[in-house]
Structure 1
Amino acid sequence: MKKPQMLLSSSSILTLAFLMSISALDTAAANCSLPGGSPPCFASMAPSLLPVTVDEGAVEINGFQVSHPSDNAIVGTTSGKQASLVISNGGTLENLRGIVGDVAGSEGEVLVTGPNSAWNNIERLIVGNDGVGTLSIEKGAKVTSGPFSAVGWGAGSVGNATITGTGSHWSFDYAMDIGSGGKGTMTIADGGALSGDDLFVGYDTDGQGSLLLKDKGSSIDVNEFYVGFYGKADVKVENGAELKSALIRLATQAGSEGLLEVSGKGTVVTTGPILAGTSGKSDIIVRDGGALNTNSLRMGILAGSNSSVTISGSNAKLNADEIWFGNGKSTLDFHHNNELYEFSGKLISKHIDGNTWKDGITVGTHELHQSSGKTLLSGDNSLFQGKTYVEGGTLLIGNKLGGDVLVSGGGALGGSGAIGTTDALSTVTIASGGILAPGNLNGGLTINGDLIFAAGSSYQVNVDPKSNASDHVYVSGKASLNGGSVLHVGASGNYNPFSTYRILTVGNELTGAFNGVTSNFAFLTPELIYDYAKKTVDLKLSRNDMKFANKAMTANQRSLAGALDTLKADGNALYTALVTLGDDQATIQSSFDALSGEVHASAKSALIENTLLTQNAITNRLRSAFSEPVATPPIEPLGYGPERKQPTAFNSVVDKDRVAATYGGWAQAYGHWLKQDGNSNVGEFSASSGGFVAGIDNTIADSWRVGVLAGYGQTSFHSNDRASSGNSDNYTLGAYAGSQWAMSHGVLAFSSGIAYTWHQLETERSVAFNGFSDRLNADYDAGSLVAFGELGYKIAAGRSTFEPYANLTNVYHKTNGFNETGNTLAALNVDSDKTNTVFTTLGLRAATTLDLGNISPKARADIGWRHAYGDVDSESSARFTGSDIFTVGGTPVAKDVATLEAGLDFNLLPSTVLGVAYTGQFAKDVKQNGFNVKLAVSF
């Protein structure tokens, strides 16, 4: 918009051409002729009484009130010229009539901006009379107009209006046209509002109207709303806006076109009756969260009209108490993507006789389309006498529906209601690719009329696992089975695999047959039984030749499935649940995995790993008893006896005070966390352990140290993949011995030990598949015996020591047999088992003393490679009651592991040492992290 300009050409008309600003002139007289005079110049005319005509250029009413209720305000009066008016900063303009873009070829623009700024038009306001007009109302400004308003009034005119910002408002009386004879557009956004009596969009024959109402807080509130009266109209309400009206009419006159689109979450159009397509073409689209609320929607009212209503996208809602279908063509299309869309209104076929709506005779073309998504018709639609086309998705009849139904490829018809009435019979045709799926086990679908299955069609049947009830169709007339197939789809539950289910009953005549029957059961074969005399079709299920093992994919599943194949069918709920599994490979595999009891095998490897913690504690104790700590937190003696002299050759790498002790006590606490990744055969497994080991020892034969130990710990484990968990209380007793010998360049160290751990285990696992479920528990014992020997060679290098070492450890593990407890035959009887695993470790330890001022901690590190031999694959052998034995594997003991340890020792007092160390083990698919903590006091 141009800066304000003014040309004063007479005493009564203010025509703008040169720069000026009318701003708070109060009542001072203005007497100025520009150009020509020498400013400043004054006249006796009061500015507050001046009418305004803007021919060219711009004027601003800034914080000033201009009132001339008996004359007009015209902006844009000359062809080929541009004129503008700004009302701002609380300024107001009052006039009789307002015209923006008066004559053809002219361009006028008015901006009303800011709170308290206003333009009041007593009679009318026309934006785009014969020229181009633009009106912008923003930032809380107000515009009012009298009995008539228009945007795009005359033929060839163009009108544009925008109302934006909270508090911005255009209020009109009687009527407003958007696109009356020309092209009119209006946008209401960001909290703007429009209110008045009757609103027409696309009024006259050549009129083109477009209205966009958008954003939360934006609104239209009118009495009657016409979308395409004689002309063409496009109305969109979106993004949370709200429109209210007592009545909405679309495409009222012949040749008119009207579109109403409601979209976006929170967008609501609320009205009384909607007359859609009285004589013209109307389209209503409700989509993507929008809602259209009406007490009555009347479509295709007069002959020659064409009306459509479409519900599309997700979460859109058409709330209509009733929908009437008239003399024209009317189409209601459910084209959404909701999992379930319920329409509870009534669909009624009517006809217009004069000005009266009547029932009973259908004159127009009435169509109901199911295009996508799943739609439930829950209202009484028995008075609908048009045609229903199910072309995609699923249409469920929850009450009554009149008229014929055609289900074509990609569409499915179901529900528990009735199609047709005894007074108006219907024909239901399932065409090639179409599906009939009643989907109600307690009554099924009733067809008052005839049913036709074409070649290539299908009938989907669900059966009740607890009875002989099934999906069922009752046909009062004739059922023609011209091919097609029956597809049995089993609901979740434990079926009687030898039941017979009635799926079709015919009242008049049963002809033809289905081409065949298929099932989604992997281990049952369906069979159809026709009784043409009784006019019934039954479905029978029988066990087929498919073995459980044929559906297994992994070693564990194959072993388990082989045992399941030996179960007897009679009265075995587990067997029944298995044979009624659907033919879905993933479901079958997960069912086998749930039954396997894999957790019992995986627990063994966790307990074997836990046993190695005792071996590490013994090794640490013997090293610390002979020398300064080299790698792990040394287990300091808790007390020492009288000293005994040792060979001087030890001095460079051995702590003489510790060797001198004849007896001592020690303690070490530990904790670690183990995670083993799963694979196609076994599930992921995690375990955590915590506990302590304590012992006493003595020096014998000058250089040998021997002792005994005891310990307690607890191991918790779980496998989320197998819905299994457990814990073990571990009690340990052991003995150990070690010595050191001086060599030419260092000291040769030997450590050995033996310990036995009693394990008391508790496990719990859940089994759930195909309606079968149980929670299984077990309490049982196991034992682990560990024996080891280690050689190391300690070398001194200044303040540091280095020790390459080799370790050989053997772990013997035995699990006692036990029986799981539960409520079903899924409980396992598990055999006892023995394993023997050998570990070799090669590594290097190092230690040094750090100088940190007042403290001198000892830093330690250990890196090694451990290899496992023998029984590294943890297995468990079990059987179900009545089955053969089977063996499943759990997470194995890692064959090759990198070991890591690092720690610090602090001498808090001459007789007190605090040590902390990190421990880790890393292998393919295995990670273990832990810590050791010791506090030792000597006396």
Structure 2
Amino acid sequence: MINIKWSFMNRIYRLVLNRATGLMQVASELATSQGFPPRTTGFSLCHRSLLSTAMLAALGSVAAPSAFAAVFDFNSDETITSSRVYTDGFRVGPNGTVVVDVSGAAVVTSEEDISLGSTAAGNGTLRLTGPGARLAINSGFWDLLVGEAGVGNLTLQGGSQATTAGLMTLGNQQGSSGNVLVTGAGSALTAREIRVGRGGTGTMDITNGGTVTTTRPYSVVNNYGMSLGDGTNGAGTVNVSNGGTLAIADNLLLVGMVRDGTLNIGNGGTVNADRGVHLGGTLISLSNNGTSNGTVNVAAGGELNTAELILGVHSDSSGVVTVTGTGRINADTVSVGSNGDGSLTLSGGAVLRATTDVRAELPHGISENFGQTGRIVVSGTGSAIEAPRVDVSNELLVEGGAAIRSTTAAFYDSYANTRTNATLTGAGSNWTNSGAMRAFTNVEILDGAVITTDTLSVSGGLNSSTFAPRLEHDQVRVSGVGSAIVTANGLTVGGTVFEPYGVLSAASGGRIDGGSGITLGNAGYLALGGGMDQWSLATTAPVWRAAEAVGQLSASPISMEVNSGGLVFNHTGDATLSNTIRSVPSGNTWVGGQLLQLSGNTRLDGDLTAFGGEINVTGGTLLINSDLYTGQGYTNPSRALVQEISVSGGTLVLNGTSGFQQQINLGSTVETVRSSIAVVTGEGILAGNARLGDTFLGDGGTLSPGQNGIGKMTFDGDLYLSANNGLGATISGTSFYDVDVLGNGQNDQLAVSGTAYLGRTSGLTNTADAALRVTALDPSVSYQNGQTYTILEAAGGVQGRFDQVTSRSAFIDPSVVYTANQVQLTLAVKDTTPPVTPAPPVDPGTPVTPVDPVTPVTPAPPIAPVTPVAPIAPPLVFGTVAISGNQRATAAALDTLRQSGDALALYNGLLIMDADTARAAFDDLSGEVHASNRALLLEDRFLREGISQRLRQAPDFTEDGGASAWVAGSGASNRQDGDGSAARARQNRDGLMAGVDWSFGERWTVGLAAGAESLRQQLQARNASSDVDAVHAGLYGGYRGEAVWINGAASYADYQIDTERTVGVGTGIAQRLGGRYDADAVSAFVEGGWDFELGALTLTPHVAAAYTRLSTDAGVEAGGSAALAIDASKDEVWTSTAGVRASWDISGGLQDGARLEAGLAWQNAAGELRADSRQRFVAGSSAFTVGGVPLARNVGIAELGVSLNTSANSRLSLVGQGRAGDGQREVGAQLNWKVAF
């Protein structure tokens, strides 16, 4: 048989030699080519030509056809057990559902197309079983179509095999479905090329040791061996698992070539693609007519091996690779996001290894038209990317202990327009890079993640992928305890040719280790604390975030180039650095870099002698314990560029020199200048023991020599206080010189080699007020008689005067004396002695007539000795600002403090206070808690109320009398308002008591009771509290007639008192004081009433009287100079009560005897309702008396309770009580249980 195949007029014909008749036959193949465009493999497409037309005419003239050859159709189920050859191909289930089984040693060979489900109505299944079963298409011209137009199924199992030298298609036409299963060891499918999901849906499963192999070699045109989602309406899925293998020999595997394609590699599955795996389109596609999506899932135990893995090949396409568990990808090169979007996710221990590189968003020229995104996520312990080169975009997430390991690395901006951060987060998450690493975009290392690299360079500002002229707010940020960037051989931060700046920050415990050194290049900033919020084009500098907790910085030396940004401190809390900080010289210029202090307390203890850059303080405190640039290496005879210091907010404490002394030859003279200048404005404070050049203060700036004490500032030049401050603007605010003094003659000093210009009288035109403020005093020297100090010396003279001389103290009078070169300060306590009214002038009277000389007078007897004059009382000082009674009493005692030792230290600590602060200090110092604690004890009703509740219960009498025992627990919470002098008190008490009593006859009861109680009082406004432990004991008795009854008791209480208070919080006299002493009380009460029985209701009017006498021992506090010695005291109080109680029997005749009780009463108190405490300062003062919180004189009382029998001889009662009146609010309850014997 000779077959010749061609097409004519869009029809396909076959010329067949019929050996039986000796004739050539022409057969039409319309049935096998309908409904889909001609296939494009090999020569299965034959175009019309003159040769084919001539051949048809010639053969047709030989003989007319007498028979037509046709494809073989399986229209019913069949089992093939012997070998067959189908010369014209065959179709399974062209019009219905048909299953053909091939088994045994049957070899089925087709010399043309094989179609399973060849029509829309067709459903054909071809199933090969057993190691001898074979299916073959030996010619590359013919196709194996599984689901040509309908449903097609091909199964290879039990070691069976199928080979085709041509194309294999699964789901050929739109609406079709093709399914292939290759399962079992030895089962194998080999095809020249496989298309899964061309016009319809294709699915291939390779499992249990089955293999699928494509053999088409790579060429520019024939550039893939298998494609998934091959047509515009197609969708293809390949599943490889359980020892299954897919091998793409010497060619590409395209996943999502035109439409959606999915490759799932399950446990034990292996895919080998020699040339590469491309997801989402193909590199040579001219148009996709839409979008394509390729997905690869590699599950635990699965493995993908390939030379090249590209995710998102074509524009408007996407490629997604997900690897989980122990899944592995081994490749030479990996590209995530080429012209389209790519997404790579590794989790649960998955690993991707590349022998060359892993790169996100491959560059394709200077353009931002692609907009592709290359997102990489590595998640979970054990998950990792390993490659010599790893380049990522800001679409990176490494979390949960995952890792990246590389030799060289880079972070780039994404082509996408969205702004995100490349993020490493979580303990154990790390990127280890043995070579150079570059960061051109936002990178965050958070919550324990670590980057370790040989070198790191940080820059940003423009899109490093598109170079679009759009500002990007790029920075690298390390935040969280355990988070770190660790470099071995250096870290560089700064702009490059294409990136205008660089920002690196560490916050909240994040650490930066610069290894051999940190270099801040062009516009390069290194920030501790809050990093950059955005870059400002207006200022060409960062706008910083709010302060954050400080990060950590290694001791690596820090070098700043001429145009570098600088070292930024924008943190909360404290930070201490010991780094050597230097300016990189440019020629003879040593002014590179900045120190920017924005927030927090920063201390620099390292060597800054080679740092000549700017210092800019706007908030917080910057302490520098080093000289600044000292002139090393400077050889130019002209004046050096000055080091500029600006303090516009916060505090700069400089303990060293700024700039160096330079001799400038002016020809006739030699000028000595210092190469620094300082400008202090706004809320800025310049402090420390510094040596500077010309210094200017204005608009609120402050000079405060020293550091928490006495200091000296030296100015090699002129000093301008609110006088021509060099800012070129009108000075509008007052500048200050704050002075601290010591009694040994030491004091803050300003030493000026030039002229000191002071304020409005300086003779300059641009001036404002210059103020002198005394801010601290010597605690060891008395100022009652005044002290004088030299506070400023100027070799070139003092021009002007201080416009204001003040002290924030309400009690000190400062005054100033000026000489030509000095300013002297005198301090004395204000004289508050009222002026003495002058005596009226004496009338000289009438002149006396001269008297004749008198006989000498007899000498007068000796004059009696003169009575000594009483000592002069100390001046009234503190009482001038006191308002309340307790404040006045305390202030009067403070006026008498001994003027030496601890007493003087306390006295001087108060002298420097303003009026409001002093009044608050008087309240703290008053010891009011001792008086208020007595009020607490006078109000103690613990045992009295327990006995009263016991006696109000009807006793269990027997004819011969009997005994009862009882136990009770009680608690109460009380608030007592203050009176304007004493502060409000909050009090709590709780305790447990027990008693035993006996009844005699039918009327009398006597008993004993004892208990333990804890009391606590808090005076929040006075930062004071007291804790009391008490023991009580008492005797009681009662008489009960038919209706009338009377009860009474006497008790004794022993108290152990502990007090604690804090004085002067936030001031120079802050102390915590405590005291312990004892007290005891004797109490008695009597109560009587009359019961009116009204059925189940009983009404009882009652009256009561009580008396308490409290004796408090003397005590002494400890803890500081404000400690008090408290005198012993005795206090007493009486109360009288009248009220009515109602009791309802709610038992309903049951044995529980349940009763509901309620009562209302009014109580009046008399006696010492405002307890006081007489005391003195242990350091040495007169005694003074302060009052405590007042007791309520009149209160209303409400009670509500319930009681019931718990057995035949026991009863339980619960009573709640509320009290209110005269500023008192109290709520309490008592639970009582008794048992009779």
1:441-452 maps to which residues of 2 (within 5 A)? 441=708, 444=711, 449-450=716-717, 452=719
Q: Check 1:867–1:321 CA distance in 2 against 1; reply closer, same or farther (3 A cut).
A: same
| Aligned match of 1:920 | 1217
Deviation (angstroms), 1:386: 1.3
Extract unaligned runs of 5+ from structure 2.
Answer: 1-38, 43-164, 205-211, 217-245, 465-471, 531-547, 630-641, 663-673, 689-705, 723-733, 760-768, 833-875, 1064-1068
CA deviation profile, 1:758-789 (whole Å, cap 9, x unmatched): 5544433235422455543444554434344x
User: What does residue 130 of structure 2 align with?
Assistant: none
1:261 and 2:463 are equivalent in the alignment: no
Give secondary structure in 2 for the equivalent of 1:806: strand
Shift of 1:322: 1.5
Instruction: Choose the corresponding residue for 2:553, options 277, 294, 318.
Output: 318
Task: State the alpha-carbon separation in 2 of the partners of residues 85 and 9 from structure 1.
Answer: 26
Aligned to 1:358: none
1:76 correspondence with 2:282: yes
Q: Partner residue of 2:681?
A: 431
User: 1:381 and 2:584 equivalent?
Assistant: no
User: Is 2:618 aligned against 1:409?
Assistant: no
Distance 1:96 1:713 in 2: 89
- 1:430 touches 1:453 (CA, 8 Å); kept in 2? no
SS of 2:189 mapped into structure 1 = coil
Equivalent residue runs for 1:889-900 within 5 Å: 889-893=1188-1192, 895-900=1194-1199
Which residue does the alignment assign to 2:340? 132
Farther-moved stretch of structure 1 (820-829 vs 308-317): 820-829
AA matched with 2:409 = L
Q: Which amino acid aligns with 1:926?
A: E
| Alpha-carbon separation, structure 2, partners of 1:697 and 1:210 | 87
Equivalent pair of 1:898/1:922 in contact (CA under 8 Å): yes
Distance (whole Å) between structure 2 residues aligned to residue 100 and residue 874 of structure 1: 86
Return 385-394 or 269-278, whichever deviates more.
269-278
1:282 corresponds, among 493, 501, 511, to 501
Which of 1105, 1109, 1115 aligns to 1:820? It is 1115
Deviation of residue 477 (structure 1)? 7.3
Counterpart residue type for residue 242 of structure 1: V
What is the deviation of 1:888?
0.8
Q: Distance in 2 between matches of 1:772 and 1:71?
A: 77
The alpha-carbon deviation at position 886 of structure 1 amounts to 3.1
Contact 2:179 2:203 in 1 (8 A): no
Q: 1:446 to 1:805 in 2, by over 3 A?
A: same
Q: How many angstroms apart in 1 are the aligned matches of 2:554 and 2:681?
A: 31
Task: Determine the structure 2 residue equivalent to 1:595.
Answer: 926
Query: What amino acid sits opposite 1:414 in the alignment?
Result: V
Determine if contact 1:450/1:477 at 8 Å carries over to the other structure: yes
Is 1:56 the equivalent of 2:295? Answer: no
Match of 2:1027? 725
Match of 1:170 in 2: 385
- Say if 2:782 and 2:908, in contact at 8 Å, map to a contact too: no
For 1:255 and 1:921, the matched residues in 2 are separated by 73
Counterpart amino acid of residue 189 in structure 2: A
- Asked if residue 347 in structure 1 is aligned to residue 599 in structure 2, the reply is no
Return the match for 1:542 from 829, 835, 860: 829
Write the distance in 1 (CA, Å) between the matches of 2:887 and 2:459. Answer: 69
Given the alignment, which residue of 881, 888, 893 partners 2:1187?
888
How far the C-alpha of 1:260 sits from its partner, in A, is: 3.5
Distance 1:194 1:76 in 2: 29
Native 8 Å contact 1:262 1:269 kept in 2: no
C-alpha deviation, 1:840, in angstroms: 1.8
The CA deviation at 1:802 is 1.0
**Rg larger in 1 or in 2?**
2
Q: Which has the higher mean CA deviation after the structures are superposed, 397-406 or 239-248?
A: 397-406
Alpha carbons 1:784, 1:814 under 8 Å: kept: yes
Distance change >3 Å, CA 470–CA 27, structure 1 → 2: farther
Q: Which amino acid aligns with 2:1159?
A: I
Can you list the C-alpha shifts for 1:809-834, whole angstroms capped at 9, x where unaligned? 23344445753334677213355444
1:902 aligned residue: 1201
More displaced stretch, 469-478 vs 431-440:
469-478
Give the whole-Å Cα distance in 2 for the aligned partners of 1:735 and 1:834: 24
Q: Deviations over 1:301-344 (max 9, x none)?
A: 4xxx43233332222233351111224x1122434231212232
The CA distance in 1 between the partners of 2:564 and 2:407, in whole Å, is 29
Identify which of 188, 191, 204 aligns with 1:30: 191
Contact 1:449 1:478 survives alignment (8 Å): no
Please name the residue that 1:195 is paired with: 405
| CA–CA separation in structure 2 for the residues paired with 1:322 and 1:132 | 44
Are 1:463 and 1:491, in contact at CA under 8 Å, matched by a contact in 2?
yes
Give the Cα–Cα distance (whole angstroms) in 2 for the partners of residues 378 and 259 of structure 1: 31
Code of the aligned partner of 2:190: A
Q: After TM superposition, list the pairs within 5 Å mapping 1:194-233 onto structure 2.
A: 194-202=404-412, 212-216=422-426, 217-225=428-436, 227=438, 233=441
Q: 1:196 to 1:314 in 2, by over 3 A?
A: same
Q: Please give the residue correspondences for 1:840-851 in structure 2 after superposition, counting only pairs within 5 Å.
A: 840-847=1138-1145, 849=1147, 851=1149
Aligned counterpart, 2:1236: 936
Give the distance between the partners of 2:193 and 2:565, measured in 1 at CA. 67
Q: Report the 3-state secondary structure (helix = DSSP H, G, I; strand = E; otherwise coil) of the residue aligned with 1:56.
A: coil
Asked whether the equivalents of residues 262 and 295 of structure 2 are also in contact (C-alpha less than 8 Å), the reply is yes
TM-score for both structures, normalised by structure 2: 0.60
- Worse-superposed segment, 541-550 or 219-228: 541-550
> Secondary structure at 1:846's aligned position in 2?
strand
* Change in CA separation of 1:369 and 1:919 when aligned onto 2, cut-off 3 Å: closer
Q: Name the CA shift for 1:504/1:366 in 2 (closer, same or farther; >3 Å).
A: farther
- Cα 1:759–1:818, aligned 2, differ >3 Å: closer, same or farther? same
Size of the alignment, in residue pairs?
Answer: 853
3-state SS of 2:452 partner: strand
Q: Match of 1:820, as an amino acid?
A: G
Matched to 2:286, the amino acid is: S
Judged with a 3 Å threshold, the aligned counterparts in structure 2 of structure 1 residues 468 and 835 are, in CA distance, closer, same or farther, namely farther
State how far apart, in whole Å, the 1-side matches of 2:325 and 2:993 are: 75
CA contact (8 A) 1:22 1:60 kept: no
Instruction: Classify 1:502/1:237 alpha carbon distance in 2 versus 1 (closer, same or farther; 3 Å).
Output: farther
Question: Given residue 935 of structure 1, which amino acid in structure 2 is its aligned partner?
Answer: V
Give per-residue Cα distances to partners, 1:113-166, cap 9 Å, x unaligned: 2345444333x444455x225241323444344445543221245451413322
Q: Is the 2:719–2:754 Cα contact (8 Å) retained in structure 1?
A: no
Contact 1:276/1:300 (<8 A) preserved: yes
Q: In structure 1, the residue corresponding to 2:573 is in which secondary structure? A: coil
Q: Give, in whole Å, the separation in 2 of the partners of 1:262 and 1:489.
A: 41
Residues 636-660 of structure 1, C-alpha deviations (whole Å, 9 max, x = no match): 45x755xxxxxxxxxxxxxxxxxxx
Match of 1:143 in 2: 352
Structure 1 stretches lacking a partner, 5+ long = 1-6, 354-360, 622-631, 642-660, 741-747
CA contact (8 A) 2:213 2:248 kept: no
Q: 1:458 aligns with which of 712, 715, 736?
A: 736
1:867 and 1:154, CA in 2 relative to 1: closer, same or farther beyond 3 A?
same
SS state at 1:592 partner: helix
Deviation at 1:52, TM superposition (A): 1.5
- C-alpha contact (below 8 Å) 1:73/1:95 kept by paired residues: no
- Once the two structures are overlaid, the 10-residue window that deviates more, 379-388 or 705-714, is 705-714
Amino acid at match of 1:398: N
2:1000, 2:936 → 1: CA distance?
Answer: 34
1:932 is paired with a residue of what secondary structure?
A: strand
Q: 1:548 & 1:525 partners in 2: Cα distance?
A: 14
Distance in structure 2 (CA, Å) of the matches to 1:209 and 1:821: 68
From the superposition, tell whether residues 731 and 194 of structure 1 become closer, same or farther in structure 2 (CA, over 3 Å).
closer
Aligned-pair Cα RMSD in Å: 4.8
Q: Relative contact order (C-alpha < 8 Å, sep 6+): which is higher?
A: 1
Cα distance in structure 2, aligned partners of 1:22 and 1:345: 69
Amino acid at match of 1:589: A
